[in-house]
Amino acid sequence: MANNVRYQIFVSSTYTDLFPARRKVTEHILSMNHIPAGMEMFSASGRQQWNTIKKAIDNSDYYVLIVGERYGSISETDGVSFTEKEFDYARQKNIPTLCFLPSKSFTTTKENRETDPEKIEMLEVFKKKVLDDQLCAFWDKEDELVQKVSTALYKIFTEEPGVGWIRGDASNPEVLTKLVKTMEENNNLRERVRLLEAEKSTNKPELSFVIDGHDQALGALNLVLPEVDAEMFSYDSIRPLTRADIPFELRRYVNEADLVEYNEQLPEASEVESYLDSMQFYLFAKDNLPVFTISNTSVTKANNVSVRISLPDGLIALSTSDMDDYAVPSLSLPKNPINEAAKKRSAALQARDRGFFPLIGNAQRSINITDFSKRDLYIEREDYIEGGLRFVRQNTIDEMSSDIHLLPLRRGAFVIKVSILCDEFPDWETTNVLISVN
């Protein structure tokens, strides 16, 4: 690397929580006689700000990503944080990228951590994407971060030298001429790539996976659990019984041992509460079959569309037959001695007046066999769904037939990973569908 070459290095991170670390990294880059750039250097907002940031990344030789414990401010246009947008754009432009994630021992103050469950989940998804994309270094303290950034920069300067900047009065005229020519060729190539990508995007289907017609631009799909009638299971109604609670005409059929046994077997209030909670999840899944659709908003037809759906922990997929076999939540209640006494008294009266003739039932259960060959989506595992459509016409929303119930196992925010492939895509395109269970 020539001593008179100055590289522009774009530093990307969330701002408020990582300001001290970011400032130290920026100051160190300046001490190395190179040029730092970053989001905080631009005062515009919204679309104008993003266009300015893209130009700064385009003009940078290297990109440095620093991640802490916050996901950051989210863009109103696509629901993604500016930090993640900057990372995606730098990778899209093939700019050499250095990533620094927090180590397991990383600690910060409470105000510098995410508290929104949805943002926490999005942060974890983002960190996993960065790890899957390339090798990363991990940091704990600010000084350690600066040292690791410095080492990584010196290494990449040697292995992947950038174009850089050279002072006009310090350059060799011949080298400067070659540099200007190279920059012109680079700009021409970038423009050709832009035009090719624009042409390709206009001829490419725009596919999205939708659940129950919900627009993800409005936020997470909110699933509301049904109310369960708790009156018959309230703790007051299954309180301990005394002899005074037994109607006079039934007392001959109830002894003290029956009352003691009943009272000892009564469930605790916490058990009743847990049962009602489980019943909410079960009834929601049993009574609801989500409507899954594929939307194509482009003017190009999509052929041989394949879909892969990965469910997170706490959310499982069950068919209708699976729901029938699924263990219904139950609450263990002892036999009420008053009810049992009434049965005994009734049986005694019947035996005395008409004789005792027990009724024998013979109930049969009908079995419905699902024809999965006619389904567009089918369950591969409890946490994995596959399927597809032969085609999705342009400007069309096609419903995918399925026999799939989504059963939440807890309340909270969930991120469903959906990958779509069609003949017109070069590779699988993956998006996240956000769901909130309340």
In 96-172, which residue ranges form alpha helices assigned H by DSSP? Answer: 117-133, 142-159
Please state, as a whole number, how many other Cβ atoms lie within 10 Å of the Cβ of residue 392: 24
pLDDT score of 42: 54
121 pLDDT more than 90: yes
Specify the higher pLDDT residue, 258 or 43. Answer: 258
pLDDT band (50, 70, 90) for residue 370: very low
What percentage of the chain carries pLDDT values higher than 90? 39
Please state, as a whole number, how many other Cβ atoms lie within 10 Å of the Cβ of residue 18: 24
pLDDT score of 77: 83
346 pLDDT more than 80: yes
pLDDT score of 356: 39
pLDDT score of 28: 92
Q: What b/e sequence results for 317-335 when a residue is b if at least 16 CB atoms lie within 10 Å of its CB, and e otherwise? A: bbbeebbeeeeebeeeeee
pLDDT score of 171: 54
* Mean local confidence (pLDDT), 10-16: 90
Task: Return the structure tokens found at 313.
Answer: 């922990």
CA 212, CA 312: separation in Å to the nearest integer? 19
- Comparing 275-289, 360-374, 393-407, 410-424, the range with the smallest average pLDDT is 360-374
Q: Write down the residue that tokens 């003949």 correspond to.
A: 423
350 pLDDT more than 50: yes
Residue 431 near residue 418 (C-beta atoms within 8 A) = yes
Q: Write down the residue that tokens 């049969």 correspond to.
A: 364
Q: Write down the residue that tokens 């052929």 correspond to.
A: 303
CA 226, CA 381: separation in Å to the nearest integer? 26
pTM (two decimals): 0.44
Task: Specify the fold of 5-171.
Answer: Rossmann fold (3.40.50)
Residue-wise pLDDT for 260-293, tens only, equals 888 788 887 777 777 877 888 888 888 888 999 9
Q: What b/e sequence results for 368-382 when a residue is b if at least 16 CB atoms lie within 10 Å of its CB, and e otherwise? A: eeeeeeebbbbbeee
pLDDT score of 263: 78
Residue 126 near residue 81 (C-beta atoms within 8 A) = yes
428 pLDDT more than 90: yes
pLDDT band (50, 70, 90) for residue 393: very high
Specify the higher pLDDT residue, 140 or 133. Answer: 140
Residue 416 near residue 316 (C-beta atoms within 8 A) = no
Specify the higher pLDDT residue, 49 or 21. Answer: 21
pLDDT score of 240: 85
Specify the higher pLDDT residue, 303 or 274. Answer: 303
CA 282, CA 318: separation in Å to the nearest integer? 11
Residue 283 near residue 404 (C-beta atoms within 8 A) = no
366 pLDDT more than 50: no
Closest by CA to 369, choosing from 400, 405, 403, 407, is 403
- Comparing 56-70, 80-94, 97-111, 340-354, the range with the smallest average pLDDT is 340-354
129 pLDDT more than 70: yes
Cα→Cα distances 106→139, 199, 234, 346, 355, Å: 7, 45, 46, 71, 80
CA 313, CA 330: separation in Å to the nearest integer? 23
The identity of residue 199, as a single letter, is E
Residue-wise pLDDT for 154-209, tens only, equals 999 988 998 888 766 655 666 667 766 787 788 788 878 877 776 665 678 999 99
- Comparing 138-142, 184-188, 228-232, 341-345, the range with the smallest average pLDDT is 228-232
Specify the higher pLDDT residue, 23 or 275. Answer: 23
Closest by CA to 216, choosing from 115, 77, 323, is 77
Q: Across the strands, what pairs with 296?
A: 207, 396
pLDDT score of 305: 94
Residue 7 near residue 61 (C-beta atoms within 8 A) = yes
pLDDT score of 371: 41
pLDDT score of 2: 52
Q: To the nearest whole number, what is the mean pLDDT of the chain?
A: 83
Question: What residues does each domain of the chain span?
Answer: 5-171, 204-347+371-438
101 pLDDT more than 90: yes
pLDDT score of 164: 86
The identity of residue 374, as a single letter, is K
Closest by CA to 401, choosing from 432, 372, 434, is 372
Closest by CA to 318, choosing from 359, 276, 288, 351, is 288
Specify the higher pLDDT residue, 328 or 311. Answer: 311
Q: Exposure of 223 by Cβ count < 10 A (0-12 exposed, 13-18 middle, 19+ buried)?
A: buried
- Comparing 210-219, 337-346, 378-387, the range with the smallest average pLDDT is 337-346
368 pLDDT more than 60: no
The identity of residue 342, as a single letter, is A
Please state, as a whole number, how many other Cβ atoms lie within 10 Å of the Cβ of residue 37: 20
Residue-wise pLDDT for 48-92, tens only, equals 778 888 999 999 999 999 999 999 888 888 889 989 999 999 999
pLDDT score of 268: 77
* Mean local confidence (pLDDT), 345-355: 71
* Mean local confidence (pLDDT), 248-255: 84
Q: Across the strands, what pairs with 100?
A: 66, 137
Q: In the CATH scheme, what is the homologous superfamily, with its name and number, of domain 204-347+371-438?
A: Immunoglobulins (2.60.40.10)
pLDDT score of 41: 59
Question: How does strand 429-437 pair with strand 412-421?
Answer: antiparallel
pLDDT score of 208: 92
